[in-house]
Amino acid sequence: MPVSPPAASLLPGQREPVDERRWADLVKGLTLAEKVRLLTGATLWTLAEEPRLGLHPVVTSDGPQGVRGTGDVPGETGLLAPAPSATAATWDPALARRLGRLFAAEARRKNVDVVLAPLVNLQRTPVAGRHFECLSEDPLLSGVLGAALVQGIQEAGVAACLKHFVANDSETDRTRYRARIDPRTLREVYLAPFERIVAEAGPWSVMGAYSGLDDGTESAPVLEHRRILQGVLKDEWGFDGAVISDWAATQTTAPAANAGLDLVMPGPDGPWGAALVDAVERGEVDEAVIDDKILRLMRLAARVGKLTRPWAPGEQAPPPPPATTEPPPAGETDFTALREVLTRGTVLLRNERDLLPLDAARLGSVALIGPNAVEPYLQGGGSAYVPAVRTVGYAEGLRAALPDTVTLSVHRGGSSRRHAPFIDPARLTGLRAAFLAPDGTRVGEEIRATGNWGFFPVPDGVRDVVLTGRITLAEPGTHTLEFGCAGRFTVALDRNVVHSGEDDRGVDLILDSSHNHPTTHRHTVRVGTTPRELYLRIDLRVVDGEGYGRFVTAHVRHAPPGPTAEDEIAEAVRAARAADVAVVVIGTNEEIESEGWDRPDLELGDRQHRLVRAVAAANPRTVVVVNAGAPVLLPWADQVPALLWHWLPGQEAGHALADVVLGHAEPSGRLPWTLPARAEDVPVPHAIPVDGVIDYREGLHTGHRAYDSAGIEPAFPFGHGLGWTTWSYARAEAPEPSVPVPPSCPAGGDGPRVTVTLANTGPRAGREIVQVYLEPPAADGDPVRVLAGFAVTDVAAGETATVTVTVPWRSFHTWDEAAGRWRPRTGRHRLRIGRSSGDLRLSVDLDILPGTTGTGHTPRPVA
Ligand code: BGC
The yes-or-no verdict on residue 416 having pLDDT over 70 is: yes
Residue 173 pLDDT class (50, 70, 90 cuts): very high
- 246 CA to centre of ligand 1 in angstroms: 6
Residue 20 pLDDT class (50, 70, 90 cuts): confident
CB 174 within 8 A of CB 130: no
| Tens-place pLDDT, residues 176-221 | 999 999 999 999 999 999 999 999 999 999 999 999 999 999 999 9
CB 206 within 8 A of CB 165: yes
Residues in the chain: 863
Smallest CA-to-CA distance from 170 within 214, 219, 134, 222 is with: 134
Ligand 1 pocket test: pick from 46, 247, 386 the residue with the most ligand atoms within 8 Å of its Cβ. 247
What local confidence, expressed as pLDDT, does residue 858 receive?
A: 44
Those residues with Cβ within 8 angstroms of residue 858's Cβ, 6 or more apart along the chain or in another chain: 748, 750
CB 534 within 8 A of CB 480: no
For the segment 450-476, the average pLDDT, to the nearest whole number, is 96
305: left (phi over 0), alpha (psi -120 to 50) or beta: left
CB 774 within 8 A of CB 786: yes
Mean model confidence pLDDT for the chain = 94
Residue 856 pLDDT class (50, 70, 90 cuts): low
| Tens-place pLDDT, residues 670-691 | 999 999 999 999 999 999 999 9
Amino acid at 62: D
| Tens-place pLDDT, residues 635-647 | 999 999 999 999 9
| Tens-place pLDDT, residues 574-590 | 999 999 999 999 999 99
For the segment 502-513, the average pLDDT, to the nearest whole number, is 89
HEC string of 689-755?
A: CECCEEECCCCCCCHHHHHHHHCCCCCECCCCCECCCCEEEEEEECCCCEEEECCCCCCCCCCCEEE
| Tens-place pLDDT, residues 347-383 | 999 999 999 999 999 999 999 999 999 999 999 999 9
Which atom of ligand 1 is nearest to 510's Cα? 7
Smallest CA-to-CA distance from 298 within 656, 640, 50, 630 is with: 50
Rounded-to-integer distance, Cα 150 and Cα 239, Å: 14
Smallest CA separation from ligand 1 atom 3, residue:
383
- DSSP element (H, E) containing 510: helix 508-511
Amino acid at 493: L
Residue 515 pLDDT class (50, 70, 90 cuts): confident
Ligand 1 pocket test: pick from 383, 386, 508 the residue with the most ligand atoms within 8 Å of its Cβ. 383
Smallest CA separation from ligand 1 atom 9, residue:
383
Smallest CA separation from ligand 1 atom 4, residue:
247
| SS3 state of residue 289 | helix
For the segment 548-568, the average pLDDT, to the nearest whole number, is 95
CB 822 within 8 A of CB 712: no
- 481 CA to centre of ligand 1 in angstroms: 32
Rounded-to-integer distance, Cα 706 and Cα 676, Å: 12
Going along the chain from its start, the domains and CATH numbers come out as 21-303 (3.20.20.300), 335-419+564-710 (3.40.50.1700), 427-558 (2.60.120.260), 727-850 (2.60.40.10)
Ligand 1 pocket test: pick from 44, 59, 116 the residue with the most ligand atoms within 8 Å of its Cβ. 116
Rounded-to-integer distance, Cα 803 and Cα 748, Å: 20
Those residues with Cβ within 8 angstroms of residue 764's Cβ, 6 or more apart along the chain or in another chain: 666, 724, 725, 797
| N-terminal to C-terminal alpha carbon distance within the chain | 25
Amino acid at 798: G
Rounded-to-integer distance, Cα 242 and Cα 294, Å: 9
Q: Which of 215, 246, 464, 539 is catalytic?
A: 246
- 517 CA to centre of ligand 1 in angstroms: 17
Residue 854 pLDDT class (50, 70, 90 cuts): low
- 260 CA to centre of ligand 1 in angstroms: 19
Rounded-to-integer distance, Cα 153 and Cα 149, Å: 6
| Tens-place pLDDT, residues 56-80 | 999 999 999 999 999 999 999 999 9
Rounded-to-integer distance, Cα 603 and Cα 187, Å: 33
Residue 855 pLDDT class (50, 70, 90 cuts): low
Rounded-to-integer distance, Cα 197 and Cα 65, Å: 19
Would residue 214 show up in a list of annotated catalytic residues for this protein?
no
- 278 CA to centre of ligand 1 in angstroms: 29
| Tens-place pLDDT, residues 618-670 | 999 999 999 999 999 999 999 999 999 999 999 999 999 999 999 999 999 99
HEC string of 368-422?
A: EECHHHHCCCCCCECCCCCCECCCCCHHHHHHHHCCCCCEEEEECCCCCCCCCCE
Those residues with Cβ within 8 angstroms of residue 531's Cβ, 6 or more apart along the chain or in another chain: 472, 473, 474
In b/e form, how buried is each residue of 779-806, taking b as 16+ CB within 10 angstroms? eeebbebbbbbbbbbebeeeeebebebb
The yes-or-no verdict on residue 534 having pLDDT over 60 is: yes
The yes-or-no verdict on residue 7 having pLDDT over 70 is: no
Residues in a beta bridge with 716: 675
Smallest CA separation from ligand 1 atom 6, residue:
247
DSSP string of 519-584, one letter each residue: -EEEEEEEE-SS-EEEEEEEEEEPEE-GGG-EEEEEEEEEE-S---HHHHHHHHHHHHHHSSEEEE
Model-level pTM? 0.95
Smallest CA separation from ligand 1 atom 12, residue:
383
% of the chain with per-residue pLDDT over 90: 91
Rounded-to-integer distance, Cα 863 and Cα 303, Å: 10
Around ligand 1, the residues with Cβ closer than 6 Å are 62, 116, 163, 246-247, 383, 511
For the segment 793-805, the average pLDDT, to the nearest whole number, is 98
Smallest CA-to-CA distance from 375 within 415, 409, 344, 339 is with: 415
Phi, psi (deg, nearest 5) at residue 627 = -105, 80
Phi, psi (deg, nearest 5) at residue 374 = -80, -40
Smallest CA-to-CA distance from 171 within 384, 349, 336, 441 is with: 384
Which atom of ligand 1 is nearest to 63's Cα? 10
What local confidence, expressed as pLDDT, does residue 779 receive?
A: 85
Rounded-to-integer distance, Cα 133 and Cα 171, Å: 12
What local confidence, expressed as pLDDT, does residue 206 receive?
A: 98
- 581 CA to centre of ligand 1 in angstroms: 43
Radius of gyration, alpha carbons of the chain = 28
Residue 521 pLDDT class (50, 70, 90 cuts): very high
The yes-or-no verdict on residue 802 having pLDDT over 90 is: yes
